[in-house]
Structure 1
Amino acid sequence: MKYKWLYVPKEYQKDFKIRVFCNYKMCRTNVHAYCKANNEPIPIAECPFTAKHTFKVYYHVPKTRNDRITRTLKTRDLKEAIMEAIQIKEELEKTNYMSASEQTQELDNYPQDLQGCMDRYLLYLEGDPSVAPGYNRRKRSKLHITDVNSTFKEFRKCLDSNNHDSSTLPISNIDRFMVGNYHDHLEGKGAANRTYNKKMGYLSTFLDYLIKDEEYEIDNPFQRVRHKPVRPHDVPNITLEEFDALINISQNKEAGKQVLSTGEIKWLHKPWLANSYKLSLMTGRRGPEVASLTWDQIQVDAAGMPESIRCEDLKVNHRHNSDQDKKHVYVPVTDELLGLLCEMGYEKFHKSSEHILAPEETMQRGTIARHMSRAFSHYFSKLEIPDRTLTFYSLRKTYITNLAIYSNPEIASNVIGHSSKGVTEAHYVRAQKVSKSVRGYSVFSDERKSHRTEQLNEVRDTSGEQQSKSRQR
């Protein structure tokens, strides 16, 4: 039987301390808009484990640091849950928050087992006020939390395979030999150096949190792990010929067939891929930023002509993790970019909040960005160009490099957002000047000019031959 998913509005979470808790063994944590038991977060309405969802209330015990009393509610009706939560709070206040076994309450102090500590740390990453005080609350992205949780599951599975019961293992028992087991596991599966460092770093940061923030008297054996060398990627620029070839092949459905090492077949072709690469090259923005662009972000000048696109610098804002004082950059709308925007429907949608790229796509914007990158690598490899390995980042690098050559490094720095942070008005004024100064900029201006010259010469030569033949006649 498929149960309806549970949901608690934010105001009820705050006023009545009600959360939706998932009892599924791979989750065992509070859930909100997304299900975390999957490899990738999915909308909670699509969660296959809704029968495991329950309402749960959390009450902080006054005059304690982190003690709390929790109660799992029997009802699946939100109104009944609110009434029950009010009654529970009244009973707790009468008993001065004293725990009693006959009340089926549980007093949560600091968890002492590995599983419980990991669950608590994930709540901290989510910015849960029951775990993270306001001054130390820094909510991480869903993608980061999913990645950390995936590493936790992998580490626990590794412990289980080495005769350690991770479900009951005390957190104080984590030692260097268990770290060694996980090291061997990562080595055995051929994890890349960057992946190895990331996973070991997640686990080390987790134990550091327990030691420094929660004051656990435990050791952190992950600190002794030596990070493996990671060479910085020297990503080359993409040439005009390569870019044109990429656009052509990305529109080929059959070329989008990808066979994984497991034998599984994935189809990477999407009708919007070609435009995604054009938009990325002509704006110089990162994948998630391109996928998130909307038509109403386009700024116009006094004559009503598109002048720039106000784009959030997601990388910087995620690092600062603040909803206030977000950094934006203003991407100049060049003649080349304006032509693309018109092809994509500027005249029809320019005042709407629709996404510029793939507005009909049901995938989340972050998933679209990852698909753009994955498909880029796949399609470029299909071109079979000797000694050339490009990534999606090559588009951004090409934009910045060629813009710096076309104008100067200072203008390029302002356009791309590498300059010092300022208020929005200051950025916009500067963006107006920059936009006008690079109006005629085209990413492949020199190459296209050279090609145009060759084409004109061919036309002249052909025309000359025809005129010569006519005279002979």
Structure 2
Amino acid sequence: MLTATNYEDAVAESIEFEKELKSNSYQTVKPKVDEGNDYSVLGAIVKYNQYLNGESQYAHLRKDVTKGHIDEMIRFCRFFAKILKQRYDIERMRITDVSQHDVADFYLWAEDHYAPKSFNKCLAGLKGFFDFLIDVEEVEMKNPFRKYVRKYVPQSEIDTINKDEFDSILNAVDNYTPISVLGGKGERKNMYRPYLKDGFKLFLLSGGRREEVVDLRWNNIFESENKIKFFRIKNLKVTRIMKRETVYKYIPITDDLSDFLKELGYDEKRNTDEYILFPQRYEKSKTMMDVLSKSFTHYRIGAGVEKEITLSNLRKTYISWVNFEMGIDTPYVSSHSTNGVLEKFYLDPKILTAIETTALKVRVFGNKTP
């Protein structure tokens, strides 16, 4: 049965059908419905998506991965399918028929669309897709992405901010025009908010991620037996990855952070459920995160700071100063190591020691911050 609805298309389709018959020595074409592990290209991608989402029949092989990771891996697969579609009917094409020529086509496409780091990630993602088919679904084939030349990725510089640059950005919030003229239609947007300077300081002195800093509350503050104060908050990033609700991180309250919290009203507000940053809120937390990020860049430019730094560089600056004092114990403070966090407010001794030491020794910029 032809799918064409007019004569010209029917002629073209019949010619294509004749070519397909000849290429298969006039043997019956395999059905579109997947049988066993003999998948079409589209069927294989569907199976991989189910596997990544934990919907696979292989319960013992399920992995906890983020939605962002799943979306990215499936996006790479779809891009590959789009390249294949230029030469094949991917609803009929078997995944086992993917050749080195097809990989070469995709390789050239990816070179034009990705920077080296993303390029390597894309190709590695497709290698993982075929590894899944071979190792989990037991499709009998060689991995066509097993060998390829990776792109060289130069080591990136970790830009931190110094005290003079940070002070100039704070001054710009008071003195530089808050109006940003956006591209395209020339939309004008007011970048000023009354919580910007406090927000920037809180980011710098706590080293937290956006979603952590914006939602810090006074009752997140606890004391160790040695009277060292720290924030105890849910590690949202690890919680999303591990899908557990009991993963916490601990932010030591250093002397300069303690001084700043007192300026914000620690003595009166301690143990309350009030937000530390801008408690009289009229914006959602997500909106505040976006505003803080975009406004930091706006006022950084206004301050004449030529470094291409963003709000995230405040966290990098904090971790750099922690590393200056703590060395190999830095991961216990930055929460890049998630081992040893115990239930019911108890800390692993190594983490507790690192937090207490950080609280006593670390000062961002090596001295008091305004």
1:149-160 correspondence runs (5 A): 149-160=74-85
Residue 244 of structure 2: which of 297, 305, 323 is its match?
323
For the 8 Å contact 2:80–2:106, the answer to whether it is kept is yes
Return the alpha-carbon distance in structure 2 between the equivalents of residues 392 and 192 of structure 1.
Answer: 23
Q: Which has the higher contact order (CA 8 A, sep 6+)?
A: 2
**Aligned with 2:121 (options 194, 198, 212):** 198
| TM-score (norm: length of structure 1) | 0.56
Q: Aligned partners of 2:43 and 2:173: how far apart in 1?
A: 46
Say whether the 8 Å CA contact 2:256–2:363 is kept in structure 1.
Answer: yes
Q: 1:222 to 1:392 in 2, by over 3 A?
A: farther
Which residue of structure 2 aligns with residue 399 of structure 1? Answer: 318
1:237 to 160, 166, 170: 160
In the alignment, is residue 438 of structure 1 matched against residue 362 of structure 2?
no
Alpha-carbon offset, residue 121 of structure 1 = 1.4
CA positional deviation for 1:192 = 0.9
- How far apart are the structure 1 equivalents of 2:186 and 2:129? 34
Distance 1:277 1:213, change over 3 A: farther
Q: CA deviation at 1:228?
A: 0.8
Select 2:53's aligned residue among 126, 138, 141.
Answer: 126
Distance 1:155 1:443, change over 3 A: same
2:62 paired residue number? 137
Separation in 1, partners of 2:142, 2:236: 36
Change (3 A) 1:179 1:338: same
Kindly indicate whether the alpha-carbon contact (under 8 Å) linking 2:168 and 2:303 is maintained by their aligned counterparts in 1.
yes
TM-superposed CA distance for 1:311, in Å, is 3.5
* 1:436-468 C-alpha deviation (Å, 9 max, x unpaired): 87358541343769xxxxxxxxxxxxxxxxxxx
Name 1:83's counterpart in structure 2.
none
Residue identity in the other structure for 1:113: S
How far has the Cα of 1:157 moved from its partner?
3.1
Q: Is the 8 A contact 2:228 2:359 kept in 1?
A: no
Cα gap change, 1:294 to 1:165, in 2 (>3 Å):
farther
Partner Cα separation in structure 2 for residue 268 and residue 197 of structure 1: 39
> Structure 1 residues 138 and 404 mapped into 2: Cα distance closer, same or farther (>3 Å)?
closer
Pick from 289, 297, 308: which aligns with 2:230? 308
Offset, 1:264: 8.9
- Summarize the alignment of residues 378-417 of structure 1 with structure 2, pairs less than 5 Å apart: 380=300, 383-386=303-306, 388-405=307-324, 407-409=325-327, 412=330, 414-417=332-335
Unaligned ranges ≥5, structure 1:
1-105, 450-473
Q: Structure 2 unaligned segments of length 5 or more: list them.
A: 1-32
Pairwise CA distance, 1:148: 2.3
SS at 2:309 equivalent: coil
| Partner secondary structure for residue 348 of structure 2 | helix
Aligned equivalents of 2:93 and 2:190: distance in 1? 42
Q: CA RMSD in A?
A: 4.3
In the other structure, the counterpart of 2:19 is none
Aligned partners of 2:218 and 2:269 also within 8 Å: no
Q: Distance in 2 between matches of 1:369 and 1:134?
A: 38
| Residue type at the aligned position of 2:339 | K
Report the CA distance shift for 1:193/1:418 in structure 2 as closer, same or farther (over 3 A): closer
Please name the residue that 1:117 is paired with. 44
Distance (Å, rounded) in 2 between the aligned partners of 1:111 and 1:310: 51
Q: How does 1:358-373 map to 2 (within 5 A)?
A: 361-362=283-284
Change (3 A) 1:194 1:410: closer
Q: Deviations over 1:343-385 (max 9, x none)?
A: 6676558543869689654475xx9768766765665456554
- AA in 2 matched with 1:171: I
Q: CA deviation at 1:211?
A: 0.8
Note if contact 1:330-1:427 (Cα within 8 Å) is conserved in structure 2.
no
- Does residue 297 (structure 1) correspond to residue 199 (structure 2)? The answer is no
Q: CA deviation at 1:239?
A: 0.6
How many residue pairs align between the two structures? 331
Identify the residue that residue 273 of structure 2 maps to in structure 1: 352
Structure number with the higher strand fraction is 1
Tell me the TM-score normalised to structure 2 length: 0.69
The equivalent residue for 2:347 is 426
Change (3 A) 1:203 1:339: same
Partner of 1:17: none
